[in-house]
Structure 1
Amino acid sequence: MDQKELAALHAEAETELKKIPGVIGVGYGLKEVGGKTTDQISFRVYVKEKRKPEDLNPADIIPKEYKGIPTDVVLVIQSKPIHCEDLDQHSPLIGGISITNFKTNASNQIGSGTLGCFATLNGVSGPENVVLLSNNHVLASNSAVNGDTIYQPRYIDNAGTITLDGTQERRNPIGKIHNVGQQAPYSYTYPSEAAQDYYLDCAIAKLDICISSWCNTNCGVSYKNEIRGLNIGGNSRLEDVARVADTDLNNGDYVVYKVGRRTSKTTGKVIDTTALDAGGGRMIYIEATQPDCNGDLIFADHGDSGSAVVNAQNKVVGLLYAVDSANPARALASHIHPVMAYLSITPITTANPPVGPAGQTLNDVEGIFTGINHTTEVRERFLDTRKGAEIYQQILDHRQEVVALVNHRRPVTVAWHRSKGPTFLAHFVNNARDPVHLIPFEVEGISRDQMIQRMAEVLTQHGSESLQQVIRHYVDEVMGFINSFDNLHEFVKQFEDASGSNEFSDHAARMEETTDVK
C-alpha cells in the first residue's frame, strides 16, 4: 500500500476499534513484546488500563489483527516535560541530586543545592561512617548547624513553574550535618611542593544508615556510587580521585564534567588549575565548552553548588561552589585533595569502596529496599514530639542489651521466635519503609499483644534492673495501643495531631475508640 491507502486503512481501523470500550485511539508503529520493541509493524491500540481477556466480555476484546495487520494493546503515554532540573526523589541516593535543609531566610526562602558524592570518615568504622559531600553554603544555609537534618526533596512542575514540595510527608530526610565545614582558604601541601592556600567551600552530612541486628537489613537510607546521568563512556560511577595539576594542561584541553540539580550534566575545560579567588585561596577555574540541555553555554547555575567535578576518566577532581559573576560560562571549584584533608574523608569510588555493613547499600542485591525509603521520615516525625523523643531514647539506651538477650540468652531467644517476633518486626520495618505494606494484627495465630506480653515477661526475668524498670513503666501504654493500627505512618500522624496535650496514654485510648468505631 502507498501512504494514501495506508492512511485510509489506519483511519478505518481507529474508527472501528474505538467502538470497543476503553480504546482511546490507534497508532501505527512497531509492536512491543514484554516491554521491548520488535521489528513487526502493528496498529498500536491505546488504552488507559490493560485488562485480562477473562475479565472482559467477548465483544470487548481487541482483535489480534485488523485486516491483516497485527494489533498491539498499549497504555496511553504519560508525557513528562524535559527539564535540566532534578525534580525527583531518588532511592538509592546517588550524586547529582537535590538536597536542602528546609531552613528559611528572612524572606522565607528555602535554599537548595546538589549532593556531590559520598565519602567515608577516616578512622571511623561502618555503618556510622558514610557521609554525603556538598558545599558549606548548601548544607549550612540559613544558619544550619551540626546535627541539623538534610533532606532529599521533591519538586513540583506546575505548567512550567517549578516549586519545592515542602509538605512534611514528602521531605525525605536522609541524614544530619556532621561537619558544617567552611567557606575560606585552607593551607594544603601537595607532595614535593610548597604549601598554598586553597579556597574551600565544603561540608558533610552523615547518612542515616541503620543496619538492624535483628533482621539483618538496612532500615535507613541506601546509597550508590553513581552520579545521575554522568554517563562518561557509558559509566556513571566514580572510579577514583585525581588532581588537576599544572602539567595536565600541557597536552591540550583538560575536559571535566559535572551533574547538578539545576543544569544536570554539563561539559567544560579547565582554564586555570590554581586561579585566585577573591576570598583569598586557589581554585580550579572552568569554562563551559558545550551548551547545557536548555541550550545555554554555561557550566553551572544557582542550585548546582556542591556538584562533584569529574574528569574524562571518571575521577573526581573538585567540588563546584560558584560561577564567575563576570562570565556566566565560567565556574569555580575547590580542589578535591584539600577538601579531603580538611574534612578527614575519603570519597567512595571503585578504587576505594566502603568496608563494613554499610557497604551493602551500594549493591542492588536481594533484600535491599530500592524504592523511596520513608523510615527516616516517620522517625523524624515521631521524634518531633516530646513523648516520641522520650520513648526513642529509651529504645536507644537499652537496644544493645535487648539484642544481646535475644541473640544469646536461650529463654529469650525461644520466646522471641515462638512469639513470631522476627516476622512482626519485619512487617514493622517494611511498613516504615513503604506505607503501602500494612502490618498484620496476627501472625500464625499469635497476636501483637500476646507477643508484647510474652517478651515483656521474659525480658523482665532476664534483663538488668534498669531494663526491668523501663518495661514496667511502658508496658501498659504499649499494650493499650499495639492493636489499634496497621500503619505506623497513620499512627504517627494521629500521634502528632494529639501531641498538643503530650499525653500518650490519652492518645492511645482515643485510637482504640476510633478502631472500635471502624
Structure 2
Amino acid sequence: MSTIEQLVAIKQQVEQRYIDQTGVTGIDVGYKEVGGELTDQIAVRVHVARKTDDIPPDQRVPLEIHGAITDVVERAYELHVTSVPARSLLADAKHYSPLQGGVSMGPSRAIDDSIFAGTLGAVVIDNETGSRAALTNFHVAAVDSTGQVGDRMVQPSRIEHGKVPQDEFGATLRLVLSDHVDGAVVSIDEDRQTSCDVVDIGGVRGTKPAALGMAVRKRGRTTELTHGSVDGISATIQVPYGDGIGVRTLRDQVSVTAATSPDSVFSDHGDSGSVIVDEQGFVVALLFAGAGSNTVGNPIAKVLQELNVSLCTGGPDGHH
C-alpha cells in the first residue's frame, strides 16, 4: 500500500507524459471513482475532457503505474467567472458595509461589451504597506490579458447593478497568473470599512495545507455557502483562459467535490475568488475553476506568498 507521499512522487514522475496527450486535462492524487461514486481507495488519477475507448494502446492509462492504482476521471475545466450578456445566475446582489469576504465584485470596465463578476474572497493585509486589501482571482480582476494594475473594482459587480463610480471600492494592486496561482489583490479605499469575516463563515483563523478527505466550505457570489471535501491533491490541471492568454497549466492544485456529489455543485460561474475554508476556519485554497460538481483551488500558502499578503484573521484566537 503506497503512502500519499509515494503516490504524489509517482504522479510527478509521469505527469508530463500524460499532460502532453490530447484530451488530457489534468492529473492528481485522489479518491478512485467507481460507478460515479468516490471510493476510499487512493489513486493516481488522470483527468480527461471525455472518456472514450477509442484511444491508441500506447496512450491508454495502465491499471497500475509503478505499483500505484490508477483511475481516469472525466473533467473539463473552466474558469468560474461569469459575464453578461451570458446566462443570468442567481446571485447575492447585496451591497456590503463593512466590506468582507464571500461577496460579489467585478471590474468597473466592460471588456468586449461584456461585464464580469466574481467573488471577493477575503480581506487580507498588504505585507508592503500594512493596509487592508481584497483577495480575488487574476481572471476576476483582470478578466484577460488587457487587465492591469490600477483598474477600478465595484462591489457588488455591475451584473448585480453595482454602479460606477458610486460602488467602487478600490483598484487592482497586484496580478499574478503563475504555475500555481491565479490571484489578484485589490486596494480598499480609505473611506470603506472592512471586516476580516467571510459572510456565513465568520472569522478566518489562519491557513493550513489541504489534505485528502478534509471537509471544507466556501461562500461565493453565485452559489453562496456550500460544503464539500477535498477529493484530490497535487493536481496539475489545464485551463483555457481565452484569447490573449490561451491554455494554462497550474500545478499543486486542490480538488474539491461537492458534499452530495454528483447532484449538487460546490461552485459555479461567479464563485471564482472565493476562499475554501476547513471546518475550523482555516483557509486552504483560493477557488478559481471547476468541472461539473468538482472545483479546483490554488494552495493558499502559494497565493499569499506570490501576492505578498497575509490573511486578515479575526477568529477566536486571531488578531486584527
Question: What is the TM-score when the length of structure 1 is the normalising length?
Answer: 0.40
User: Per-residue deviation at 1:296?
Assistant: 5.3
- The alignment covers a number of residue pairs equal to 219
The answer to whether residue 230 in structure 2 is matched with residue 270 in structure 1 is yes
- 2:300 aligns with 336
- 1:153 aligns with 156
Tell me: CA distance 1:322–1:344, structure 2 relative to 1, closer, same or farther (3 Å).
same
User: Per-residue deviation at 1:102?
Assistant: 2.5
- Following the alignment from structure 2 to structure 1, what is the Cα–Cα distance between the partners of residues 163 and 123? 27
- 2:215 aligns with 255
SS across alignment from 1:119 = strand
Of structures 1 and 2, the one scoring higher in RCO (CA 8 A, sep 6+) is 2
- Following the alignment from structure 1 to structure 2, what is the Cα–Cα distance between the partners of residues 165 and 121? 29
The answer to whether residue 218 in structure 2 is matched with residue 223 in structure 1 is no
- 1:238 aligns with 204
Residues 320 and 334 of structure 1 are in contact (CA less than 8 Å); yes or no, is this contact kept in structure 2? yes
User: Per-residue deviation at 1:225?
Assistant: 1.3
Out of 273, 286, 304, the residue aligned to residue 271 of structure 2 is 304
SS across alignment from 2:192 = coil
Identify the structure with the greater strand proportion: 2
- 2:173 aligns with 178
User: Per-residue deviation at 1:335?
Assistant: 0.3
Out of 268, 290, 295, the residue aligned to residue 260 of structure 2 is 290
Residues 154 and 163 of structure 2 are in contact (CA less than 8 Å); yes or no, is this contact kept in structure 1? no
Residues 116 and 157 of structure 2 are in contact (CA less than 8 Å); yes or no, is this contact kept in structure 1? no
SS across alignment from 2:92 = coil
- Following the alignment from structure 1 to structure 2, what is the Cα–Cα distance between the partners of residues 111 and 144? 12
Query: Residues 104-158 of structure 1: CA distance to partner in whole angstroms, max 9, x if unpaired?
Result: 222x111110000011122424xxx211100000011252211111110267xxx
SS across alignment from 1:271 = strand
Tell me: CA distance 1:296–1:149, structure 2 relative to 1, closer, same or farther (3 Å).
farther
- 1:134 aligns with 136
Matches within 5 A, 1:305-384: 305-324=272-291, 328-350=292-314, 353-354=319-320
- 2:189 aligns with 208
Residues 307 and 319 of structure 1 are in contact (CA less than 8 Å); yes or no, is this contact kept in structure 2? yes
- Following the alignment from structure 1 to structure 2, what is the Cα–Cα distance between the partners of residues 177 and 283? 24
Calculate the aligned-residue CA RMSD, in Å: 2.1
SS across alignment from 2:139 = helix
User: Per-residue deviation at 1:84?
Assistant: 5.5
- 1:376 aligns with none
- Following the alignment from structure 1 to structure 2, what is the Cα–Cα distance between the partners of residues 287 and 201? 20
- Following the alignment from structure 2 to structure 1, what is the Cα–Cα distance between the partners of residues 167 and 216? 31
- Following the alignment from structure 1 to structure 2, what is the Cα–Cα distance between the partners of residues 322 and 306? 9
4+ aligned runs moved over 4 Å, structure 1: none
- Following the alignment from structure 1 to structure 2, what is the Cα–Cα distance between the partners of residues 93 and 283? 28
Tell me: CA distance 1:113–1:315, structure 2 relative to 1, closer, same or farther (3 Å).
same
- Following the alignment from structure 1 to structure 2, what is the Cα–Cα distance between the partners of residues 115 and 348? 13
Residues 103 and 141 of structure 1 are in contact (CA less than 8 Å); yes or no, is this contact kept in structure 2? no
**Which stretches in structure 2 are left out of the alignment for 5+ residues?**
1-88, 239-248
Letter matched to residue 224 of structure 2: S
SS across alignment from 1:275 = strand
SS across alignment from 1:208 = coil
- 1:164 aligns with 160
Tell me: CA distance 1:122–1:104, structure 2 relative to 1, closer, same or farther (3 Å).
same
User: Per-residue deviation at 1:95?
Assistant: 0.6
- 2:125 aligns with 120
- Following the alignment from structure 1 to structure 2, what is the Cα–Cα distance between the partners of residues 352 and 341? 20
Residues 146 and 179 of structure 1 are in contact (CA less than 8 Å); yes or no, is this contact kept in structure 2? yes
Matches within 5 A, 1:84-99: 85-99=91-105
**Which stretches in structure 1 are left out of the alignment for 5+ residues?**
1-82, 156-162, 186-198, 210-219, 231-235, 355-518
Identify the structure with the greater helix proportion: 1
Identical-residue share of aligned pairs (%)? 26
Tell me: CA distance 1:256–1:172, structure 2 relative to 1, closer, same or farther (3 Å).
same
- Following the alignment from structure 1 to structure 2, what is the Cα–Cα distance between the partners of residues 109 and 91? 27
Out of 101, 107, 111, the residue aligned to residue 105 of structure 1 is 111
Larger radius of gyration: 1
